[in-house]
Structures are given as structure tokens and as C-alpha cells.
């Protein structure tokens, strides 16, 4: 039985896991870099261990230091959160080899689904719709050109081990492809240590729809509906919502069944997300995230399930608490990522928060590790808080979100709050008429 959980992460997700553990009666261990000594997750944990300097590679990515922290504090499980080592199969293997419980999927599933080319092949073999493209990595520019000509331009090159837009290049003709191929390979090699790239047909105006899945050690897998993630900039999500204004009940069921089918084919356990592109009534597998997502609160709000507590229970060998059979999403929820960045240039803006007053009221939730006088370090992601809004309908949720964003006071650093308020005033967003290219034509 799990009794003490070490959280191998920082910020709001580390605090989120600690709070879930407290409700389950479990002890917690916070690890932190020298830059995070004054973080809330350190204050709220039962034990804390400094694991290195500010740089991630010397602290939050230092596997030996994290394992040592677990051993000296008597932790028997590790929750990786999101980012950092959360999708590192070698880390999950080492955790298991040290007789600790890894709160997440198996190393085999992480490794298989973390390689985008292999994940695409796995989805294809499982009968899940995929975007036309190469069968695995393309080894030469000539091979990429042949595939592109067979499926038709435009196409997109993607890093096989990538994410976050790195190693991606959109190509409209042979010349574009010739010029982009080596650049994409070099960028993928620098970012991920693997230079493999594969090629897909580029959809002009798709929506980014993801399905939340959960599996237990008894072989049961469920779908918890979709999240609309199309409002994004440079492949980084800004606003997520559930349900999607573009997905009807039959399509939701089809996408859920496809996601479950893929998970069954790899024996998936714990929380995961299957990401699809959706256009003209058709959906196509894009990739799988083998971890809890930043936007998991959106699903929590429309399903009533605590995703993090469920992760811990499943890792402890308990069956899923979700009921058998279909269930309907309740109401509507949106999440707004409040980042410490310039709302116009998007440049990071770390520094000291002089005033911090989060909004409240019905249907308003704020997940954050920030507070007045907290200093946002320049070494990590710029996320300050996640504002999650829930109401009975999409229009009511938008109205409530406008009110909450007006009430959200953060002084001392620039934030993305003005950007979110402007997006909510855009008629296309209000109508639900948008794609992943929304921000390209967005005017403030």
C-alpha cells in the first residue's frame, strides 16, 4: 500500500498532487531546486529535499537525486506530474527497479507512445484513423519528397520523439521540403536527442481535440470525453474547454471508442490523453500523452472525478472508480492558462509578484502555487495559475470567465490575462467557429 508520495515536479502541479495526497491520508515529499526554496509545494509537503541548483538538468531532471530523495525520506511512490521526467521511460523503469511505485503508465507504454512514428503505426494497426503520411521516419529528403508527392501537398514534417512544435516544418512544394528536411532533423536532434522525422498530410483548418482516457491494472479502460484545445499559439495551448462546440454525441462516442481501442492494444494503465485532429467531420490520431495533462481540471469539472486521486488509487492497484457504461458530460468548463509573459509579444516576464488576488464565486477555481511577494524564477515554464470556470452552458461559462478575469489581480509582472479577455470578446470564439489557426488572424 502506498503511504508516502514524492512529487518529482514543482509549481502548481506539485501542489495539486500534495493536496490530493492529503485528502487520501498520504504523506508527501517535495523536491525542489535552490530557486524554489520558497515555493508553496515545499511549504505544504510533510518532507522536502533540495535536489540541486536552479537549472532543470541539475535538479528536476536529475534522476539519481530524485531517487536518493525518495530513499532518505522513506517515500514508497513517485508522482512525476507533467513535463520534466513525466514521459521518460527510463525514469519510470528506474523507479520500478528501486522497488518504488511509479504513479503513471508502464515504461513500455511510455516508450512506445512517446515515439510519434511508432505511436502512429500502433494506432494504424489498432484500426484508429490516422492522417495520410509516411510509414515511420523518412530517412532522406528524397524519400520524404516521394511520400509528399503520393499524398499531395501541403505536408508537415514532425520530430518522431518531439512535441511543443519543435522539429515541425510545413511544406507546400518540393523546394520547401528540400530546404526544411535537414533543418527539421537538426532541430529534433538538438531538442530530443533523436533526429528522426516523419511526414504527414497537413490539414489546413483542423481543430485540436483530445480524449481523456484512464486504465486500471484490472484491464478496464474508460474514456472521459473530449477537450477542445484549438486555441493555441505556436503549438502551445492557451484555452481548453469541454465539451467541444464542434463535437456531437455520436462523434464523441466514436472518438472515445477509438481512444479505448488504442489503449487496449498497448495495455495502457493510469491517466493518458489521445490527441486527434478534427476537420470536416473526420478525426485523425495525432499523438498520445502518457501523463496527466495541464488541462486535466477541465475534465474534472465536467465529470466530477478527481483525476490525481484516481491516478494514485490506480497505481496502488485499486480498480477505476468511474461507473461502467456511458455517462454524459455535465455542464461546460474552460481553462485559461495565466502565464507570466507579455500579452502582446509573448516574451516571458519573470519577477516578483507585488499583488495577487485570485477571483472567486460560483463555478470559479484557481489552481496555482503563486502568492503575494512570490518571485517567479526565470528558469522554468512561465505558468502562474490556471483559471478554471464551470457553468451550465458554454455562453454562461464565457460570461463567468469574463467576470473572473476582470477580478484576477496580478501586479509586478506582465500576464496573459489581457489576451484571454480579448479572445473572449472575439465573436468567432463566442460562436465556437475556430481552428488551430485562430491566433494567426486574431486581432486585439
Tell me the C-alpha distance between 423 and 408, whole Å: 16
DSSP code of residue 154: -
Question: Cα angle at 235 between 229 and 238, to 5 degrees?
Answer: 50
Q: Judging by DSSP bridges, how do beta strands 282-289 and 270-279 pair with one another?
A: antiparallel
Question: b vs e for 181-192, b when ≥16 Cβ sit within 10 Å of the residue's Cβ?
Answer: beebbebbbebb
CA distances from 413 to 339, 352, 355, 376 (A): 10, 7, 10, 9
C-alpha grid cell for residue 286?
Answer: 495525432
Is residue 291 annotated as part of the catalytic site, yes or no? Answer: yes
C-alpha grid cell for residue 197?
Answer: 522525422
Q: Which of 145, 207, 291, 313 is catalytic?
A: 291
CA distances from 262 to 43, 60, 124, 307 (A): 40, 31, 9, 20
Residues whose CB is less than 8 angstroms from the CB of residue 188 and which lie 6 or more positions away in sequence, other chains included = 159, 160, 161, 162, 166, 167, 194, 195, 196, 197
* CB distance 165 to 138 below 8 Å: no
Tell me the C-alpha distance between 342 and 335, whole Å: 19
CA 83 from chain center: how many Å? Answer: 8
Using DSSP's 3-state secondary structure scheme, residue 60 falls into coil
As annotated, the active-site residues are: 291
Amino acid at each position: 500500500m502506498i503511504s508516502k508520495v514524492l512529487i518529482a515536479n514543482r509549481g502548481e502541479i506539485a501542489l495539486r498532487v500534495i493536496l490530493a495526497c492529503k485528502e487520501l491520508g498520504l504523506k508527501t515529499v517535495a523536491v525542489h531546486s535552490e530557486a524554489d526554496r520558497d515555493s508553496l509545494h515545499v511549504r505544504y509537503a510533510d518532507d522536502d529535499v533540495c535536489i540541486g541548483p536552479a537549472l532543470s538538468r541539475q535538479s528536476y531532471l536529475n534522476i539519481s537525486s530524485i531517487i536518493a530523495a525518495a530513499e532518505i525520506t522513506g517515500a514508497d511512490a513517485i508522482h512525476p506530474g507533467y513535463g520534466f521526467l513525466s514521459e521518460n521511460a527510463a525514469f519510470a523503469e528506474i523507479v520500478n527497479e528501486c522497488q518504488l511505485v511509479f504513479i503513471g503508465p508502464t515504461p513500455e507504454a511510455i516508450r512506445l507512445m512517446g515515439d510519434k512514428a511508432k505511436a502512429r503505426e500502433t494506432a494504424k494497426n489498432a484500426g484508429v484513423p490516422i492522417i495520410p503520411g509516411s510509414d515511420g521516419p523518412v530517412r532522406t529528403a528524397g524519400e520524404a519528397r516521394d511520400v509528399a508527392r503520393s499524398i499531395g501537398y501541403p505536408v508537415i514534417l514532425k520530430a518522431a520523439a518531439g512535441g511543443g512544435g519543435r522539429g515541425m516544418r510545413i511544406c507546400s512544394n518540393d523546394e520547401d521540403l528540400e530546404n526544411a528536411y535537414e533543418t527539421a532533423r537538426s532541430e529534433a536532434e538538438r531538442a530530443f536527442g533523436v533526429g528522426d522525422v516523419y511526414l504527414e498530410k497537413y490539414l489546413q483548418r483542423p481543430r485540436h481535440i483530445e480524449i481523456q482516457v484512464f486504465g486500471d491494472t484490472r484491464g478496464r479502460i474508460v474514456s472521459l470525453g473530449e477537450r477542445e484545445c484549438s486555441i493555441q499559439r505556436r503549438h502551445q495551448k492557451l484555452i481548453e474547454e469541454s465539451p467541444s462546440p464542434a463535437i456531437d454525441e455520436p462523434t464523441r462516442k466514436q472518438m472515445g471508442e477509438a481512444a479505448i481501442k488504442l489503449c487496449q492494444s498497448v495495455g495502457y494503465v493510469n491517466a493518458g490523453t489521445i490527441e486527434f485532429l478534427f476537420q470536416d467531420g473526420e478525426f485523425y490520431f495525432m499523438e498520445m500523452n502518457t501523463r496527466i495533462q495541464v488541462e486535466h481540471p477541465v475534465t474534472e469539472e465536467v465529470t466530477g472525478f478527481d483525476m490525481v486521486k484516481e491516478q494514485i488509487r490506480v497505481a496502488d492497484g485499486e480498480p477505476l472508480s468511474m461507473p461502467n457504461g456511458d455517462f454524459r458530460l455535465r455542464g461546460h468548463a474552460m481553462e485559461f492558462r495565466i502565464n507570466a509573459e507579455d500579452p502582446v509579444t509573448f516574451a516571458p516576464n519573470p519577477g516578483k509578484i507585488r499583488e495577487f488576488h485570485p477571483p472567486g464565486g460560483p463555478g470559479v477555481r484557481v489552481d496555482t502555487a503563486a502568492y503575494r511577494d512570490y518571485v517567479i524564477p526565470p528558469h522554468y515554464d512561465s505558468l502562474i495559475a490556471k483559471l478554471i470556470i464551470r457553468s451550465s452552458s458554454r455562453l454562461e461559462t464565457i460570461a463567468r470567465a469574463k467576470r473572473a478575469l476582470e477580478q484576477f489581480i496580478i501586479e509586478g509582472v506582465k500576464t496573459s490575462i489581457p489576451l484571454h479577455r480579448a479572445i473572449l470578446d472575439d465573436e468567432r470564439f463566442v460562436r465556437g467557429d475556430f481552428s488551430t489557426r485562430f491566433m494567426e488572424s486574431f486581432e486585439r
